[in-house]
Structure 1
Amino acid sequence: MTDVPLEHVHREPDSDADAALFVLHGRGADEKDLLPVAQRLPGDRHVISFRAPDRLQGGYTWYDLDLSAGGLESSQPDPEGFRRSLDLVAESVAAAVDAYGLDPDALGLLGFSQGAITSLSLVLEQPDTFAWVAAHHGYLAESHAGRSPEGIAGKPVFVGAGAADQIIPASRCEAAADGMREAGADVTFETFAGGHGITPDELEAVSAFVEQYD
């Protein structure tokens, strides 16, 4: 819909449910990439998966990478692009709530890799917007580390990591979980066998997490 700033796909629930899950894909993917994950989660809800704003090869990216601290394993979001995407996602969530008649108190947020990094930062900026957040294979951006806003206390946050992930090592994901826990969130952290991808075991674990808050 043209009223929503970001291009997206919208999957309606089977019932008249007005809960929703917003989905943020990883670097180089697109808005269809995580639909199989989102649609296998328990509960009946709208699924709205956003497309990142900038093209990258055959897909899209939320921001450029700042590699000044070293290689990919120590990268950070480029500040200008990151800020733009955070604002675009926030605006698109608000617009989708109005456009699709969603319950503003029943919104989940799920992201992978860049989408997870964006998700964690967004919930620290707007903790009252989301009922829960699932962040797969992402880290906590330096720009948002140390924040402890009102509304984050007790917020359910799932952080998943891959033991063999060479793009975003499990240690960075664990540090993100620790940072969110220190901010006051109710964090579930698990490491799974495998690399930079959501394994069946990870899907089972995040499904159990979501079921608690459905």
Structure 2
Amino acid sequence: MSELPLEHVHVAPDDPENAPAVFVLHGRGADEQDLLPIAEALPDDLHVVSLRAPDPLQGGYTWYELDLSGGGLHQSQPDAADFARALDLVGESVHAAVDAYGIDPDRIGLLGFSQGAITSLSLLLEAPDRYAWVVALHGYLPDSHADVDPAGIDGKPVFVGAGTGDRVIPESRASAAADRFREIGAAVTYETYPVGHGIGDAELADVVAFVESQY
């Protein structure tokens, strides 16, 4: 395994040189194996780099601790210091993987679920020129990045998925994230599904179609 700041699983395409890539960010309490079934449904010519969050939690891992001062889990925010560290670690891992695996630096996508979605959306705002597209499932845009309006976001493809029965991250938070990205000029696809805090078959099919449309 090549040296990246974060532990990870790498699945190479048949023709890996200068191929596009998707970096996969799991949710709180999961690990780098959790979203591989999702990633395996994506186009075969993609590098898949599934990253493990840095901190152990309940048999899995977490990207950051939660700030629950706003009134509970459904209104949580990332702990500021932890979140900044996580964003740096993912950015450094992306940079290292490009060199290690021969990834085309101009065709990098992010796919995140829950905490991974929150992290992915924030990374796009911090470095829109680094990422070609983002899939953010059952996440939200944290307060720390709610007013960020970077150059380079105009026309950027962003897929936001939400569950109408999600009691961990309510649909309204995902919808607000989609609205904000529309306001700043991203090309947003927003879809809801009759599920809780998880990814069903219909959502997976829409994600695959969205990613396929980028190539």
Which TM-score applies when normalising by structure 1? 0.98
Aligned counterparts of 1:45 and 1:2: Cα–Cα separation in 2: 18
Give the partner amino acid of 1:25: H
- C-alpha distance in structure 2 between counterparts of 1:168 and 1:188, whole Å: 18
Judge conservation of contact 1:26–1:61 (CA < 8 Å) in 2. Answer: yes
Q: Is the 8 Å Cα contact of residues 125 and 150 (structure 2) preserved in structure 1?
A: yes
- Please show how residues 77-92 of structure 1 align to structure 2 within 5 Å: 77-92=78-93
Which whole-Å CA distance do the structure 2 matches of 1:190 and 1:142 have between them? 22
Q: Which residue of 2 aligns with 1:28?
A: 29
What are the superposed Cα offsets for residues 2-48 of structure 1, whole Å, 9 maximum, x if unpaired?
53100000001123461111000000000000000011023411100
One-letter identity of the residue aligned with 2:201: P
Distance 1:7 1:128 in 2: 25
Matched position secondary structure for 1:123? helix
Moved segments of 4+, more than 3 Å:
none
Whether the 8 Å contact between 1:116 and 1:136 is mirrored in structure 2 is yes
Matched, 1:9 2:9: yes
Which residues of 2 match residues 190-205 of structure 1 at below 5 A? 190-205=191-206
Match of 2:150 in 1: 149
Structure 2 equivalent of residue 135 of structure 1: 136
Question: Could you tell me which residue of structure 2 aligns to residue 116 of structure 1?
Answer: 117
Cα RMSD (Å) of the superposition? 1.0
CA contact (8 A) 2:54 2:61 kept: yes
Give the secondary-structure state (helix, strand or coil) at the position aligned to 1:19: strand
More divergent stretch after superposition (40-49 vs 149-158): 40-49
The DSSP-based 3-state class of the residue aligned with 1:96 is helix
| 1:99-135 Cα shifts (integer Å, max 9, x gaps) | 1111001111000000000000000000011110000
Gap change, CA 1:38 and 1:101, over 3 Å in 2: same
Question: Could you tell me how far apart the structure 1 residues matched to 2:123 and 2:44 are?
Answer: 24
Alignment partner, residue 177 of structure 2: 176
* Secondary structure of the corresponding residue to residue 144 of structure 2: coil
Contact 1:13/1:46, CA 8 A, preserved across alignment: yes
CA distance in 1, matches of 2:109, 2:156: 11
Query: What are the ranges of 5 or more consecutive residues in structure 2 without an aligned counterpart?
Result: none
Per-residue CA distance 1:142-180 (angstroms, 9 max, x = gap)? 000021101111000000000100000111100010111
Higher deviation after alignment, 172-181 or 36-45: 36-45
- Please tell me the residue identity of whatever aligns with 1:6: L
Deviation at 1:200, TM superposition (A): 0.4
Instruction: Report the AA paired with residue 127 of structure 1.
Output: P
Contact 1:43 1:211 in 2 (8 A): no
Change (3 A) 1:118 1:169: same
In structure 2, the residue matched to 1:19 is 20
Separation (CA, whole Å) in 2 of partners of 1:89 and 1:16: 21
Residue in 1 aligned with 2:68? 67
Deviation at 1:95, TM superposition (A): 0.5
Contact 1:127/1:149 (8 A) holds in 2: yes
Q: TM-score, normalised by structure 2?
A: 0.97
Return 5+ residue gaps in structure 1 as ranges: none
